[in-house]
Structure 1
Amino acid sequence: MNRIVVGVDGSDGAREAVLWAARTAADRGLELHIVHGQRVVEFAYGGGLAGAAGVFEAIRAEAVQIIADAVEQAKSVSDALVVTTEMPVDHPVVLLNELSRTADMVVVGGTGHSGFAGVLAGSTAVRVASHAHCPVAVIRKAPDADTVPVSGPVVVGVDGSPNSEKAIAVAFAEASARGAALVAMHAWTDTTYDYYYGSARLMVAWESFAEEEERLLAQRLAGWREKYPDVEVRKELLKDRPRHALLAAAEDARLVVVGSHGRGGFRGMLLGSTSLALVQHANCPVLVVRPEKNR
C-alpha cells in the first residue's frame, strides 16, 4: 500500500519511532500512517471502571493529544510528508498486526507504556514482531545515547534458513536506500545439538566446517550483490552464537536485519531466540523480517 505504519503511545520510545519512521517514509516517498490503540476495554473490565463516561472521555482526550504530538514530530522531519492517523478503540497489538497486512513496514518503539505493572517493557514490540504480516522495525538505542544511530552499516544475520533469505533481500534494499555499507554476518557455532546435549559433550572439529560455512555465506550473497552493485558488502564469518555476534555488531550499526526464525529455532516458537534477544537488548534499530503470509 506504499505506506509505513507507526504505533504511538506517548512514550519516549514511541517518539523515537515516529522520527525514524518519518525519515524513512520521507526518503522513500511513502505515506506515514500514525496509529494509537486506546485500550478502553482494559480499563473498563480490568480496572472495574465500566460505565465511567468521564474516564473514557479522558482516555480519548489523551489519545487525541498523543496523535497530535506525533503528527507534529513527523512533520518536523518534512512538511511534504503525507501523514494519516487512526485511533480506534482497540488493543495496540491487534491494531498493528491487522494494519501490517497492507503496510510496507510497521515501526514501534523498543520501550513503551505497557499498561500493566510488571509487564516487560517492549512487550508490544515483541508481540507485533511475532505476528505481523510485514517487516517490523523496533527502534532501539544505547541506554546512554541521546538519539537513535543514523550512521554506521546495516548488519544482516545469515544462517541459510528460508527466513534468512528474506532478511538478506530486505537488508540489501535497506542498505541501498540508506547509502550504507552492508555487513553480512554468519555465526556458525549455534547448533540445535547444543540445546540438548550441552557444548561440553558435543565434540566437533569446528575448523573443518569453516570452508563450507564461508562458501554458504558467499552463495547466499552472490545474486544480491549483482542486483545492488551500489552496496558495499563486507562478509564476517564468526565462531560465535548469532545473538552474541549480532548484539556486538549492533554497537556500531545503524540497523540490524534478522529473520524472525533461524535454522536453530524450535517448531511453534513465534520469535526465535536471536531475534528476541535483539528486539529486547540491541543498541540500534532492529528490523525483523517475517515469513510470507496471505495478506
Structure 2
Amino acid sequence: MTTSGNPPVVAAVNGSAHSMAAALWAAKEALLRNAELLLLMAYGFDGAPFGNRSFPPDAWLKAKEAVTEEVLREFRVECESAVPEVKMATAAVDTGPIAALTEISATARLLAIGAPAGETAGLFTRVSTSRLSSGTFCPVVVVRGARQSGPVVVGVDGSPLSEEVLAWAFEEASVRKTPLLVLHAWHDGDVAGLFTGESALPFPGESVREAENRVLGQRLAGWRKKYPQVPVDQVVVRDKPRQRLLEQSEKAQLVVVGSRGRGGFAGLSFGSTSHALVHHAKCPVMVVRATGRPAG
C-alpha cells in the first residue's frame, strides 16, 4: 500500500545510545521505502512552566539549541556512514518532545524512538497522557534489539483496528522480503478479542479454536491476494497474547500490534499488550492506532 507522495521516516533522537539505535533502524527503514530520513530532536518543554514564566529564558534555549545541533550532526554522520544511500535531513525543535512528535506525525510515514529509558520512558506512563493534546497520525516504532533477520510477527484480534494492523504488517513483510507470522491469541476473560461473535458464529460441533482459525483465515484471504509474494503462517492459540508475542519477539525482526488506548502515545499506556512489548520485547515493536491512513 502507498500514500500520496513519499512521507519521511522520522527518528526521534536525544543523544542516547537508545535513540542512536532508533536512528540507525529508521535509516534502514527509509532505504527500504526509498524515503527520506528526518532526524528530529526537541529541546523544549511540553507546556511545563519554567519558574514564573511560560517559557525558559532565551539564553537557556540558545544553549540547548547549540547542544541539540551538535547532537544532530553527530547522529547524521553515524547514519550517513551506516546507510549512505539514504537522503537525510535534521530538525531541532524548541518545543517539548511529545508536542514535536505529535505534530510531525501528521506528515510522517512512521516515527521511530528508542527503547524506554530515562525521559523516553515517560512517554509510556499514564502521567504523560494528560499532557497530550492530540494523538499521533502514524505508527510508532519502539526500537528494541538489533535483529536483521526473522519474520515479521503481527498480533491480531477481533477488533476493527486489526485491519489497519494487518495492512502495516503485510507491507512491512513485503518490503523486507520476509515471511509474516499472524498470531491470534485469546483467553477466557477476553471475549472481546474473539473473531467469532454475532456476525461469525461457530459452526455446529466446531470448537472455539477451530472457529477462530477459520474466521482468521477468511480475514487474511484478501491480504494474501494483495501480497501473494509474502509467505504467511497463521497461528491461533488459547493464551494471553502478550506472552506469546513476547516469545515470538525473540526470533522476529519486527512485531506489529494495535493500540487499544485512546490514541497516539496515550494508546501505548492503556493497551496492556503493547505496553508489555515496548518494555520487554527482544526486537523493534510497531504500535498502530486507528488513523484511516493507508499503510506504507
Q: TM-score scaled by structure 1? A: 0.81
Residues in 1 aligned to 2:188 and 2:240: alpha-carbon distance in whole angstroms: 5
Pair 1:172 & 2:187 matched: no
CA RMSD of aligned residues (A): 3.0
Indicate if the aligned counterparts of 1:15 and 1:70 stay in contact, CA closer than 8 A. Answer: yes
Instruction: Give 1:275 shift.
Output: 1.2
Correspondence for 2:159 among 158, 161, 166: 161
CA, structure 1 residues 16+44, in 2 after alignment: closer, same or farther (shift >3 Å)?
same
Matching residue's letter, 1:88: V
Q: Which residue of 1 aligns with 2:94?
A: 89
Indicate if the aligned counterparts of 2:41 and 2:97 stay in contact, CA closer than 8 A. Answer: yes
Matching residue's letter, 2:182: A
CA, structure 1 residues 41+156, in 2 after alignment: closer, same or farther (shift >3 Å)?
closer
* Alignment coverage as a number of residue pairs: 267
Residues in 2 aligned to 1:75 and 1:183: alpha-carbon distance in whole angstroms: 32
Instruction: Give 1:106 shift.
Output: 0.8
Matching residue's letter, 2:22: A
Q: How many percent of aligned residue pairs carry the same amino acid?
A: 39
Aligned 1:117-196 pairs, distance under 5 A: 122-124=121-123, 131-141=135-145, 148-189=146-187, 191-192=189-190
Indicate if the aligned counterparts of 1:12 and 1:112 stay in contact, CA closer than 8 A. Answer: no
Residues in 1 aligned to 2:33 and 2:17: alpha-carbon distance in whole angstroms: 25
1:242-263: CA deviation from partner (whole Å, max 9, x where unpaired) = 11111111111110001112xx
Matching residue's letter, 1:187: A
Residues in 1 aligned to 2:174 and 2:105: alpha-carbon distance in whole angstroms: 23
Pair 1:100 & 2:99 matched: no
1:121-179: CA deviation from partner (whole Å, max 9, x where unpaired) = 523367699931111111012xxxxxx11111100001121111111111011001011
Instruction: Give 1:266 shift.
Output: 9.1
Instruction: Give 1:43 shift.
Output: 8.8
Instruction: Give 1:78 shift.
Output: 2.7
Q: Which residue of 1 aligns with 2:77?
A: 72
Q: Which residue of 2 aligns with 1:199?
A: none
Q: Which residue of 1 aligns with 2:253?
A: 254
Indicate if the aligned counterparts of 2:36 and 2:86 stay in contact, CA closer than 8 A. Answer: yes
Instruction: Give 1:110 shift.
Output: 1.2
Residues in 2 aligned to 1:60 and 1:150: alpha-carbon distance in whole angstroms: 34
Indicate if the aligned counterparts of 2:143 and 2:284 stay in contact, CA closer than 8 A. Answer: yes
Residues in 1 aligned to 2:188 and 2:18: alpha-carbon distance in whole angstroms: 31
Indicate if the aligned counterparts of 1:92 and 1:124 stay in contact, CA closer than 8 A. Answer: no
Structure 2 unmatched ranges of 5 or more: 1-5, 193-205
Instruction: Give 1:42 shift.
Output: 7.8
Residues in 1 aligned to 2:52 and 2:278: alpha-carbon distance in whole angstroms: 30
Q: TM-score scaled by structure 2? A: 0.81
Instruction: Give 1:191 shift.
Output: 3.3
Indicate if the aligned counterparts of 1:9 and 1:112 stay in contact, CA closer than 8 A. Answer: no
Instruction: Give 1:107 shift.
Output: 0.8
Correspondence for 2:15 among 4, 10, 13: 10
Indicate if the aligned counterparts of 2:44 and 2:61 stay in contact, CA closer than 8 A. Answer: no
Matching residue's letter, 2:113: V
Q: Which residue of 1 aligns with 2:215?
A: 216
Pair 1:20 & 2:25 matched: yes
- Per the alignment, in what secondary structure is the counterpart of residue 219 of structure 1? helix
Indicate if the aligned counterparts of 2:43 and 2:95 stay in contact, CA closer than 8 A. Answer: yes
Instruction: Give 1:35 shift.
Output: 0.6
- Per the alignment, in what secondary structure is the counterpart of residue 122 of structure 1? helix
Indicate if the aligned counterparts of 2:153 and 2:182 stay in contact, CA closer than 8 A. Answer: yes
Matching residue's letter, 1:157: G
Residues in 1 aligned to 2:56 and 2:106: alpha-carbon distance in whole angstroms: 34
Pair 1:32 & 2:37 matched: yes
